[in-house]
Structure 1
Amino acid sequence: MKQLIRDVPERFPQAEQRAEMQMLEYLDQYYEIEKILAVGKNIREYSPYVSYPVNTWIKKDEEIFKTLMRINGYKKPTKLEYWRQVVDFVDPRLIDHAHKYSQLRMYPKGEIVKFGTEYWQCMIPHGFEKGDIHMPGVKAWREAEIIPWEPNMEWEKDQVCSFNEQFYQYLGEPETEEPIENPDPLPEETEPTEPSPDDDDPEISLQDEEEEGGGESNEDEQEPTPDLPADEIVLTPEEDDRWGLIGEYSEELEYDYSEGVFDYVVAEGTVFYPVLNPNPDELVDGVNITRDDPRNANIVAHLSRIALYHLHSIISATNIPETRRWAYEDSIQWLYNASKFKINPQLPRKREHDSCAPKVDWALETFQRSYDPNENPWLI
């Protein structure tokens, strides 16, 4: 295919547009071909920045899937106000022409959209093509209160301070392990000894007691005096283990948004913590997505044949393979037969405004609804 387009990817949409125009020329009068083509156009490549509702079709790895559950997307922290709810008087024409909000569009400044039952006005240009999606009224991050660090201050757990152009989270006092108390050892039993003859001499025993007393007094005199208490050392958040450095926001990390948990991040020069789920959900086949193609099989087959024929004609109009030409002629014949009601293309029909009956050709309508030849001049 790369050799066919010769490294010019713009030829694909050109061929698709030509095939779509031919489809409309043949089927637009009696069939809802615009709605059928819109089904395929609304299938976009999966983006982790988009939050998908239930029963939405996405494209991933060249396959089409249907969402079974709500799939969450990235939500970046920001202190900018992208949307403002319309509560004051605005031009009624803007309200009347307001479109429903879609994550797949680009929004200029001042545009008003309808989101649920409320109206919102865009304050900063953003959108899908820029990879910067912000839903009206949805704020998954909340800005934290920052206190400049000062020594000898009392801090509570999870408070945030600023020091040397960086932000730190107070982790609290470190937990100390209580020492295990060993049981007192049992006294050892001493063997009885025979009394010596010197023990009976009172003078010798008295002299020994005086020597022992004199030794104890000398030991007391040699004990050093205790040192005076030194001043306490002040530790900064960079040196104190009770403080943790807060890192920058990264899409590669998963953040905890549980109640009572403060998973701080730094973005746009300030600190945020999540209050809603800011992480994208993982796509798992059979759990939150399933393989399903909502497109009409006949339209997909014939549109592909016609588009491939036009792709060859754009590159070299005089060098189209015969197989492509035969396939193109078969598809054109199918479109002609469908437009003349010679076949049933399995497509929804347009209906009359007054009777809500399916639209048919003029000749078929006259012949089917009135069998009197006098009322059909073309039969006389």
Structure 2
Amino acid sequence: MYRRFLNDADYLGVITAEALAQMTRGNADRFAQAEESAEMSIIENLSENYEIEQELNKGKYIAEHDRRITFPVGAFIYLEGRIYEVIRSISGYKVPSTLAYWEEHVELNFDIGNTARYSQFGTYYVGDIVAHNGVAYICKEENGYKFGDIRIPMVEGWFEAATTEWLPIEYNLWEVVSFNGAFYTLMKLDEFDNNINPFDSLCWGAIADYDPAYNDYELEEHEYVVYDGRVFYPGLDVNADMPIVGHNIAQNDPRNYNIKKHMVRLAIYELTKLIAPNNVSAVRLKDHEESMKWLNDASKLRLNPQIPRKLAEDNKPVTDWQLSTFQTDYDPYKNPWLT
């Protein structure tokens, strides 16, 4: 699937929302088609001398805010169609676990430097090895973004609570029992009668199933939930942090302005061609010609596109030309061309 560098709002600086809707006819796939064509033109012109792929990736890998994901400081996210920079870490919610998904990988002479880093957007299968915080881990159970089950190595937010079958005996406050396939905890001792089963007693409270949509779990040892037939309580803050402008996010766009500007122009030209290839407006033709000229000038180093240059083996910027000299002496008082 093609990852877009642009978003729909980028076009509104050049064209109205109504005109853009007429071009796409409600088909969002047309954006990807046009932008992919525009991107190829940019790469063809700039890939020889510039790190254009890295600059494009800055926009392609901006993720939508997802409550399952923990975003570190410096990451960029989409929220309500706008791009924000994370200025304080945003934690995702943590799901109870009944399985050991990861195990520290111990192997003699193992080179962790060549091991892929763990990513919350990755999908992992049994036997996959990743590096996380300088430690190698091996996958013991399938997990990952595509499975809808993100498990960061060695991060456990919930602890399992001890449970017993209900019997007509004395119980302490907040003890957990199972009765007729459900779990209950003793919530109060006033008027407690150990001969009344938890279902009929007002002193016992039924424990609800874990709900990832609920975001107000308290950090208490008796904040019980049921997950996969077992009872858990939080050992740390298991709720997802909410993104708040000025608190943990700030509006910022990491994408190169020149690339964004010219990709929009080229993409609109491609969208126009999809509708009426023989009737492209003069404005779109002019914008397309100017952008292609800019790309050509940038490729020949006639202007500075504000994109990092590619480096050669000597750590100097690569060039598409070389100068040979046949000088035999560099003494300024001698003729350097005499042999």
Alignment equivalent of 1:287, drawn from 242, 247, 250: 247
> Which residue does the alignment assign to 2:159?
142
On the 8 A contact 2:170/2:194 being kept in 1, the answer is no
1:64-79 residue pairs with structure 2 within 5 A?
64-79=83-98
On the 8 A contact 1:11/1:311 being kept in 2, the answer is yes
Give the superposition deviation at 1:44: 1.1
Offset from partner CA, 1:193-234 (integer Å, 9 cap, x none): xxxxxxxxxxxxxxxxxxxxxxxxxxxxxxxxxxxxxxx882
What is the RMSD of the two structures over their aligned residues, measured on CA atoms? 2.9
> Which residue does the alignment assign to 2:178?
162
> Which residue does the alignment assign to 1:28?
47
More helix by share: 1
2:275 pairs with 1:256:
no
Distance in 2, matches of 1:160 and 1:89, equals 45
Q: Closer, same or farther in 2 for the Cα pair 1:245/1:103, shift >3 Å?
A: same
Alignment equivalent of 1:243, drawn from 204, 211, 227: 204
On the 8 A contact 2:38/2:270 being kept in 1, the answer is yes
2:67 pairs with 1:51:
no
Matched letter for residue 48 of structure 1: R
Distance in 2, matches of 1:80 and 1:47, equals 24
> Which residue does the alignment assign to 2:80?
61
Structure 2 counterpart SS, 1:310: helix
Q: Closer, same or farther in 2 for the Cα pair 1:84/1:240, shift >3 Å?
A: same
2:49 pairs with 1:87:
no
Q: Closer, same or farther in 2 for the Cα pair 1:23/1:124, shift >3 Å?
A: same
Offset from partner CA, 1:304-346 (integer Å, 9 cap, x none): 1112222333444334333222211111100001111221212
> Which residue does the alignment assign to 1:344?
304
Q: Closer, same or farther in 2 for the Cα pair 1:128/1:338, shift >3 Å?
A: same
Structure 1 counterpart SS, 2:185: strand
Offset from partner CA, 1:49-107 (integer Å, 9 cap, x none): 100111111111111111111111111112123222213579x69x6752101112222
> Which residue does the alignment assign to 2:287?
327
- Which moved further from structure 2: 240-249 or 320-329? 320-329
Q: Closer, same or farther in 2 for the Cα pair 1:253/1:67, shift >3 Å?
A: closer
Matched letter for residue 151 of structure 2: H
Distance in 2, matches of 1:109 and 1:322, equals 57
Structure 2 counterpart SS, 1:100: coil
Matched letter for residue 129 of structure 1: K
> Which residue does the alignment assign to 2:125?
108
1:295-374 residue pairs with structure 2 within 5 A?
295-354=255-314, 356-362=315-321
- Which moved further from structure 2: 345-354 or 283-292? 345-354
Structure 2 stretches lacking a partner, 5+ long: 1-19
Alignment equivalent of 1:266, drawn from 226, 238, 241: 226
On the 8 A contact 2:120/2:150 being kept in 1, the answer is yes
On the 8 A contact 1:156/1:172 being kept in 2, the answer is no
- Which moved further from structure 2: 321-330 or 21-30? 321-330
> Which residue does the alignment assign to 2:195?
234
Give the superposition deviation at 1:4: 2.3
Offset from partner CA, 1:90-135 (integer Å, 9 cap, x none): 9x69x67521011122223322111112111223333223432111
Normalising by structure 2, we get a TM-score of 0.83
Distance in 2, matches of 1:332 and 1:339, equals 10
Q: Closer, same or farther in 2 for the Cα pair 1:79/1:308, shift >3 Å?
A: same
2:157 pairs with 1:127:
no
Structure 1 counterpart SS, 2:265: helix
Distance in 2, matches of 1:351 and 1:375, equals 31
Give the superposition deviation at 1:19: 1.5
Number of residues of Structure 1 aligned to a counterpart in Structure 2: 312
Give the superposition deviation at 1:366: 5.6
Matched letter for residue 149 of structure 1: W
Q: Closer, same or farther in 2 for the Cα pair 1:301/1:146, shift >3 Å?
A: same
Structure 1 counterpart SS, 2:184: strand
Structure 1 stretches lacking a partner, 5+ long: 177-231
Distance in 2, matches of 1:77 and 1:350, equals 46
Distance in 1, matches of 2:62 and 2:191, equals 54
On the 8 A contact 2:96/2:157 being kept in 1, the answer is yes
Distance in 1, matches of 2:260 and 2:194, equals 76
Offset from partner CA, 1:111-164 (integer Å, 9 cap, x none): 21111121112233332234321111111111111110000x221222110011
